[in-house]
């Protein structure tokens, strides 16, 4: 097992997020490998850490000044053991191969946990949508799809959104795919409602993350009613996390973006949430403007000199990290614990560093790792694929009920699996093992491919 991490590190020494994601899963699945020597003989780990296919391409586009810009495009087709490759596209200047490989690797096990037939993939670009006009975003998306279209399809690889890719980008990407292929198929999820999208897909990751937190609390006969909550990020996942927390009568105290965070001691209510949705999705503004509008809120800009994030130093019952990877370091985790945190439910992918995860688990915090807690988004993407292939659409209630049932099932599977492997209450071990076994058994059935 430590061999495999050494292999990964020596092959791709700079991909530190990928090493981290592989390390976390390998640590958890050690007992499965001990019980099943046939997996070792079949070189399952060596196969799992090597993407089935990596596509890297040039994305040239013209900005509004008529200047040529060149970005990098990627698609990592990680595993098709249990279904077509499935996973989002991220547009952010930090995107590189290591980040997308970590995300694709996580996606494989997350998708297995959903109970739906989806393999794992991820893609994106180092393109930064911030400050770009709609026309620039459209031209970029069209150029990106002019290459990507060769590799994807409704039964092959079905991308969706992630950081920097929302409804607007999915629309432009879909338009170009349709033109190039001359066919109207469910090749992307997160589409708009009137051309093949599913109700509840925009809400799904945030809602699902709150359903997962509620399930964890229910094991202690507690609920979210009256609970104080810290949320980071202010994008898609953060917004719908806040919305569902309000439905559950919790009090939400914070939101953030990469420039800073707001703390609103009077709580973020529905009117304030609507302001954030418009600010972020339509005006594409900064979270600082929340504090300019609402005097009950204090804005704190990011201070690069600090070795902790002051957002996580506020007292609260629950934390929902919903921005990006490694946004909760060991000090942040300790600060949360010192201030009495009871639940951490991860909307983002791998937002807590491994030392932070250890702190939560040692202290018996109800800790839902991203690959379980944020699986609601890809689950409803799976439901969108089903509706597309049946050529019908389900009601809001129907999709939301299915989402809730899937989150309950992921919670139960993770909890039961952890118990079975002698780690009661450890959702990290439970989720990793349950996802891993499903993928690995499919690989064993399908032979050496």
Give the binding site for ligand 2IT (CB under 6 A): 86-88, 107, 160, 162, 189, 349, 377-378, 381
Q: Of 40-48, 227-235, 293-301, 441-449, which part binds ligand NDP (CB under 6 A)?
A: 227-235
CA distance 308 to 259: 15
34-53: contacts with ligand NDP (CB under 6 A): none
Backbone phi, then psi, for 374, in 5-degree steps?
A: -105, 15
User: How many residues form the binding site for ligand NDP (CB under 6 A)?
Assistant: 25
Give dist(CA 380, CA 400) in Å, integer. Answer: 9
Site for ligand NDP in 185-224 (CB under 6 A): 205
Give whichever of 272 and 440 is closer to ligand NDP, judged by the CB atom.
272
Look at the chain and count its residues. 449
Q: Which stretch binds ligand NDP (CB under 6 A): 234-242, 304-312, 419-427, 437-445?
A: 234-242
Per CB under 6 A, does 24 bind ligand NDP? Answer: no
The residue written with tokens 């690069």 in the block is 304
Chain-centroid distance of CA 325 in Å reads 9
Which residue from 33, 59, 138, 237 is in contact with ligand NDP, where contact means CB under 6 A? 237
Q: Which is nearer to ligand 2IT, 83 or 356 (CB)?
A: 83
Residues catalogued as catalytic: 122
98 binds ligand NDP (CB under 6 A): no
Structure tokens given for 146: 């002019």
Q: What is residue 278's DSSP assignment?
A: I
324 binds ligand NDP (CB under 6 A): yes
Please say whether the beta carbons of 379 and 114 come within 8 A.
yes
- Number of residue whose CB is nearest ligand NDP: 235
Backbone angles phi, psi at 11, to 5 degrees: -70, -40
By beta-carbon proximity to ligand NDP, the closer residue of 4 and 84 is 84
The full DSSP string for 242-265 is HHHHHHTT-EE-EEEETTEEEEET
Among 26-34, 112-120, 252-260, 333-341, the segment contacting ligand NDP (CB under 6 A)? 252-260
| DSSP string of 137-199, one letter each residue | HHHHHHHHHHHHTTT-BTTTEEEE-BTTB-HHHHHHHHHHHHHHHT-----SSS--GGGT--T
Instruction: Using the rule CB under 6 A, give the single segment among 174-182, 319-327, 396-404, 427-435 that binds ligand NDP.
Output: 319-327
Binding region for ligand NDP (CB under 6 A): 92, 94, 161-164, 166, 205, 233-238, 257-259, 322-324, 347-349, 374, 377
């Amino acid at each position: 097992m430590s061999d495999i991490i050494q292999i990964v590190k020596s092959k791709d020494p700079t991909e530190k997020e990928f090493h981290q994601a592989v390390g976390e899963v390998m640590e958890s699945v050690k007992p499965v490998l001990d019980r099943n020597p046939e997996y070792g003989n079949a070189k399952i780990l060596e196969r799992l850490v090597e993407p089935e296919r990596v596509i890297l391409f040039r994305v040239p586009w013209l900005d509004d000044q008529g200047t040529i810009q060149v970005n990098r495009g990627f698609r990592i087709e990680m595993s098709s053991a249990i279904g077509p490759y499935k996973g989002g596209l991220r547009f952010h200047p930090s995107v590189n191969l290591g980040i997308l490989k970590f995300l694709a690797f996580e996606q494989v096990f997350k998708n297995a946990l959903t109970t739906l037939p989806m393999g794992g993939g991820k893609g994106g670009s180092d393109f930064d949508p911030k400050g770009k006009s709609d026309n620039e975003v459209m031209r970029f998306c069209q150029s990106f799809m002019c290459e990507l279209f060769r590799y994807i399809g409704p039964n092959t690889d079905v991308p969706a959104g992630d950081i920097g890719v929302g409804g607007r980008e999915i629309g432009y990407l879909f338009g170009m795919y349709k033109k190039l292929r001359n066919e109207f198929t469910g090749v992307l999820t997160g589409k708009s409602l009137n051309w093949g999208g599913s109700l509840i897909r925009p809400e799904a990751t945030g809602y699902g993350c709150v359903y997962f937190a509620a399930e964890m609390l229910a094991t202690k006969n507690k609920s979210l009613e009256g609970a104080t909550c810290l949320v980071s990020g202010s994008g898609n996942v953060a917004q719908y996390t806040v919305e569902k927390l309000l439905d559950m009568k919790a009090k939400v105290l914070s939101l953030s973006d990469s420039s800073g965070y707001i703390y609103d001691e009077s709580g973020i209510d529905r009117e304030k949430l609507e302001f954030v949705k418009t600010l972020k999705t339509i005006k594409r503004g900064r979270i600082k403007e929340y504090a300019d509008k609402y005097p009950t809120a204090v804005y704190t800009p990011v201070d690069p000199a600090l070795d902790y994030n002051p957002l996580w130093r506020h007292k609260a019952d629950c934390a929902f990290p919903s921005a990006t990877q490694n946004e909760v370091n060991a000090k942040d985790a300790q600060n949360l614990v010192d201030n009495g945190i009871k639940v951490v439910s991860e909307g983002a992918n791998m937002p807590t560093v491994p030392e932070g995860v250890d702190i939560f688990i040692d202290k018996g915090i109800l800790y839902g790792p991203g690959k379980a807690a944020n699986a609601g988004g890809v689950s409803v993407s799976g439901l969108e694929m089903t509706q597309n292939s049946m050529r019908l659409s389900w009601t809001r209630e129907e999709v939301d009920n299915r989402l809730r049932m899937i989150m309950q099932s992921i919670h139960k599977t993770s909890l039961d699996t952890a118990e079975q492997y002698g780690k009661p209450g450890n959702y990290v071990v439970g989720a990793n093992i349950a996802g891993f076994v499903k993928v690995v058994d499919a690989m064993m059935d399908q032979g050496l491919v």
